[in-house]
Structure 1
Amino acid sequence: MSLPIVAIIGRPNVGKSTVVNRLAGGREAIVFDQPGVTRDRTYQPAFWQDREFMVVDTGGLVFDDDTEFLPYIREQALAALVEAAAAIFVVDGQTGPTEGDREIATWLRQQPVPVLLAVNKCESPDQGLVQSAQFWELGLGEPHPVSGIHGNGTGELLDALVAHLPPVDQLAATDEIRVAIAGRPNVGKSSLLNAFVGNNRAIVSPISGTTRDAIDTVVQRGDQVYRLIDTAGIRRKKNVDYGPEFFGINRAFKAIRRADVVLLVIDAVDGVTEQDQKLAGRIADDGRACVIVVNKWDAVEKDTYTIYDFDKQIAARLHFVDWAKRLYVSAMTGQRVPKIFDAVDAAVAQHRRRVTTSVVNEVLEEAVSWHTPPTTRQGRQGRIYYGTQVTAQPPSFALFVNSPSLIGENYRRYIERQFRQNLGFDGSPIRLLWRGKKTRDLERDSVNRATKV
């Protein structure tokens, strides 16, 4: 990342994510009244005065406990500090200094990074001065009373921060490709992200549900920039309680919608599950390009027919994304992982592709010459007059006919197959929009669509 980085450090449940959202002017970090919600380090862009920077949220630091995710969280916090131009140490003004705060302060004084002390939960300006004064004992300089919820004091904190940030020239606009990594819990999404980046960018654990937030990582390959978005594992809705996992899954769905292409990660050991089918359907419905990544291929016992049998299983169970390329990889060993970037490039190119009207109509003319629209019992037959591409991402085509009601589902699927066979669009969904020639048909279609919604 070319922007300077500001790491947000503190013990659990002092309101770090709330402060991050306030400094970045958004609501990206998950905020929930429970310690340990944030685990990986998550980045948000921010600016103040003439400075642009990235704010990095980290998990709550605890030094004297090695249970569950805490060692991983410490590793992520240290990684954020290593790449940071400055750090903000967040403490709880209502609780006062704790032994955990003192341990973190001692550790921070040993780091070669300027540290600002933010005393959070100082909702009252008058009381805030009293609450913050007790944190002078940490030996980190002036405590800044702030309220992540209301915004009190954050301007003064940012004024002090920019003095430690280098000036940043206006960056040239880059056509980055947004890649969401989606799948069920524990299929290896975070391992795949780390394999892309080449370091432990995300916490990897055999415990399902480790990743809770959508984690953005920017990498460059040649001249192309990619924004990789690791998402929370998506379980069946009935198994998800309201809380951090609920918010994490919602963030995962948002990540799919904002992505150019989605890597649908499937566990080679488990095979294609019902939840994988639902995820694939959602990706297609959202109009995103897709690459199916079968992970843990190294853990499968193989013979001559293994890959063909798995291909048949995917074709049968994920037939509605049969246009997506399939790759069999191992994030653990790195087997075929570099090929994912090539598949992403190809899928995005097709997702953004435009076809001239003359070519569209050549395909339609040939399709109709081979198979004309069927005739109804009343003797009425559908007729296709012409077609044109109306938008990309995904490629969408308006097909003008005498009456959409005369074009049945089977014939619509036939026309889509002809588009695929003649125009390609591998890796991308396509949309066929059937439009009636007469005004009353258009009005009826509009009413029908409103009724469905």
Structure 2
Amino acid sequence: MKPTIALVGRPNVGKSTLFNRLTKSRDALVADMPGLTRDRHYGHGKIGGKPYLCVDTGGFEPVADDGILHEMARQTLQAIDEADAVIFIVDARVGLTPQDKLIANRLRQLDRPVRLAVNKAEGMSASVVTAEFFELALGEPWPISASHGEGVRGLLDDVLTGFEVEPEEQVQDHPKFAIIGRPNVGKSTLVNAILGEERVIAFDQPGTTRDSIHIDFERNEQAYTIIDTAGVRKRGKVNEAIEKFSVVKTMQAIEDANVVVLVLDARQDVAEQDAHIAGFALEAGRAMVVAVNKWEGLDEYRRDQVKRDIARKLGFLDFARFHFISALEGQGVGDLFASINAAYKAAMAKLPTPRLTRALQLAVEKQQPPRVGLVRPKMKYAHQGGMNPPVVVIHGTALEGVPDSYWRYLEHSFLKMFKLQGTPLRVQFKKGDNPYDAKPGEFKPDRKGAMRGEKKPVKTTARKPAKKAG
């Protein structure tokens, strides 16, 4: 098993910068503002053939007894309990603080190795910058620069000393789903209900989650990765610079996921922003499951009203399965996994060319494409051009004038014929140029209309997803 390394320290000492350095990623948000990271954030790393798991934590406020700082401290303490080793990060520019002493007192009580990293030490004398930190009694301080990488390799080699190198397990493909929605609809509560523990901070305050948190877990011997994301507000209401970063991370999480779980609040009407968020996921081609949260305690009239509102404003999500749940009480949460698995299977489905061509022929026999001028588009055969979402490439002639209505007809036909539940599907057209349309002298066509000794030119046409109203 990979050793787990927890990064702890006061706010704004460079924990997230070091996390990105150790994982060779940009997964953790970094800005010159304290309190940016609030939840545990996991990432994989490897150095000198030794793999490890790194945990970024929020700013540690050991004396906080209520509010968001108290919740952040609880998350940090849980990360420390899970870790095999701890890197305690202090700020060389600020120097030793009373809060550093409180954290050190807590860490000295651990039965696991602790390394003291003096960050932001670039351009400074190592002996001078580390002198005052010997007072913490955590061994010899390591002067490093997380932003420049100075001293990080030596620190990590020291932390991993004593851990045996085990052969890495072969990575298996598994569903990766993102929880998305407006702020304060219960996304983090749903994540905690799925995991069966208070894994992320759930607080009655919009915008509690700011980063996208990736969590690996197993359910019924099936591996999953769940991504908790920050709530996406209307563009005009995104004022904080950090919240703008959070929106970007949410968009990246949608791109990174195989399946998206859109969370709605049954206590509120479906808002324009709900449709916009769903549109982001649809344009990315992601499979989708819709969870209508806070369903408990609603009377029949309100429930019927919510269902009518959803059908009217989110009708373009007719391919997705809808679940009415209570994340707080755990009602209906387990039923989400059947839909997530079905959506993932559909998004990653392999569609054989003979079956696709036969499905195309059946669709055309049932309803032919409308004429374009004097000619009717002729569709010859189809093959798969990609997955997540499934892409069907249709070859033929005179395909440039196929209207959007027939395009949608073909998409729905393929979804129905292959029983693909929970995923959108894309149709692309490829047509060959008519060799007789070329200028005289450019080439001489043979009797089949193809250029002798040359490959027939091909054009590709793909319809962009229609912009959804609402």
**Alignment TM-score, normalising by the size of structure 1:** 0.93
Taking the TM superposition and a 5 Å limit, the aligned residue runs for 1:238-387 are: 238-241=236-239, 243-299=241-297, 301-303=298-300, 307-376=303-372, 378-387=373-382
Q: Does 1:12 align with 2:7?
A: no
Match for residue 410 of structure 1 among 405, 413, 421: 405
The DSSP-based 3-state class of the residue aligned with 1:426 is coil
Q: Distance in 2 between matches of 1:285 and 1:329?
A: 26
- 1:317 CA displacement: 1.5
Q: Give per-residue Cα distances to partners, 1:198-247, cap 9 Å, x unaligned.
A: 11110010111111111111111123100111111111122213522111
Q: For the residues of structure 2 that align with 1:360 and 1:21, how far apart are their CA atoms?
A: 44
**Equivalent residues in 2 for 1:167-206 (5 A)?**
167-206=165-204
Amino acid aligned to 2:141:
P
**Residues 18-38 of structure 1: CA distance to partner in whole angstroms, max 9, x if unpaired?**
121122222211111111001
Report which stretch shifted further, 240-249 or 200-209: 240-249
1:79 alignment partner in structure 2: 78
Residue identity in the other structure for 1:322: D
In 2, distance between residues paired with 1:402 and 1:144? 68
Deviations 1:347-393 (A, max 9, x none): 111111122223223322232223222234x4332222222222222
Residue 209 of structure 2 aligns to which amino acid in structure 1? Answer: T
1:6: how far off? 0.7
Which residue is 2:138 aligned to? 140
Q: Map residues 60-75 of structure 1 onto 2, 5 A cutoff.
A: 60-66=59-65, 68-75=67-74
Q: Please state whether the residue corresponding to 1:406 is helix, strand or coil.
A: coil
Structure 2 vs 1, CA of residues 297 and 130 (structure 1 numbering), >3 Å: closer, same or farther?
same
Q: Provide the residue aligned with 2:454 in structure 1.
A: none
| Structure 2 counterpart SS, 1:367 | helix
8 A Cα contact 1:86 1:165, kept in partner: no
- What is the RMSD computed on CA atoms of the aligned residues? 2.1
Q: Deviations over 1:224-274 (max 9, x none)?
A: 100111111111122213522111211111111011111111111113211
Q: CA contact under 8 A between 2:262 and 2:278: conserved in structure 1?
A: yes
Alignment correspondent of 1:428: 423
C-alpha distance in 2 between matches for 1:343 and 1:322: 14
| Structure 2: distance between partners of 1:353 and 1:443 | 26
Task: Determine if contact 2:36/2:210 at 8 Å carries over to the other structure.
Answer: yes
CA deviation map 1:66-97 (0-9, x unaligned) = 45310001100010011100101000111111
Structure 1 unaligned spans of 5+ = none
Cα deviation, residue 100, structure 1: 0.5
Deviation at 1:3, TM superposition (A): 2.5
Over the matched positions of the two proteins, sequence identity in percent amounts to: 38
Can you give the 5+ residue segments of structure 2 that lack an aligned partner in the other structure? Answer: 438-456, 465-470
Find the counterpart in structure 2 of residue 437 from structure 1: 432
Number of aligned residues: 444
Kindly tell me: are residues 420 and 20 of structure 1, through their superposed partners in 2, closer, same or farther at Cα, counting changes over 3 Å? closer
Q: Is the 8 A contact 2:261 2:288 kept in 1?
A: yes
Q: In the superposition, relative to structure 1, how do residues 309 and 359 fare at CA in structure 2: closer, same or farther (>3 Å)?
A: farther
For 2:234, the equivalent position in structure 1 comes to 236
- How far apart, CA to CA, are the structure 2 residues paired with 1:132 and 1:240? 41
Residues 134 and 251 of structure 1: CA distance in aligned 2, closer, same or farther (over 3 Å): same
* Aligned 8 A contact 2:7 2:87 in 1: yes
Judged with a 3 Å threshold, the aligned counterparts in structure 2 of structure 1 residues 399 and 50 are, in CA distance, closer, same or farther, namely closer
Q: Is the 8 A contact 2:427 2:462 kept in 1?
A: no
Deviation at 1:164, TM superposition (A): 4.8
| Maintained 8 Å contact 2:432/2:458 | no
Instruction: Specify the code of the residue in structure 1 equivalent to 2:169.
Output: L
Does the CA contact (< 8 Å) of 2:121 and 2:129 recur in 1? yes
Cα distance in structure 2, aligned partners of 1:412 and 1:40: 44
Deviation, structure 1 residue 411: 1.7
CA distance in 2, matches of 1:172, 1:374: 51
Contact preservation (8 Å) 1:380, 1:406: no
Distance in 1 of aligned mates of 2:460 and 2:390: 21
Q: 1:237 to 1:361 in 2, by over 3 A?
A: same
Separation (CA, whole Å) in 2 of partners of 1:217 and 1:445: 39
Q: Secondary structure at the match of 2:176?
A: strand
- CA apart distance, 1:46: 1.3
Give the secondary structure class of the aligned counterpart of 2:202: coil
Which of 156, 159, 164 is the equivalent residue of 1:158?
A: 156
**2:371 aligns to what SS in structure 1?**
coil
Higher mean displacement: 264-273 or 366-375: 366-375
Q: In the alignment, residue 348 of structure 1 is paired with which amino acid?
A: Y
Higher mean C-alpha deviation, range 424-433 or range 359-368:
359-368
SS at match of 1:405: coil
Q: Could you tell me how far 1:277 is from its partner in structure 2?
A: 0.7
In 1, the alpha carbon distance for the partners of 2:9 and 2:462 equals 55
Q: Deviations over 1:152-188 (max 9, x none)?
A: 1111211210125343332132222211111111111
Measured in 1, the distance between the counterparts of 2:462 and 2:368 equals: 28
The 2-side partners of 1:277 and 1:61 are apart by 38
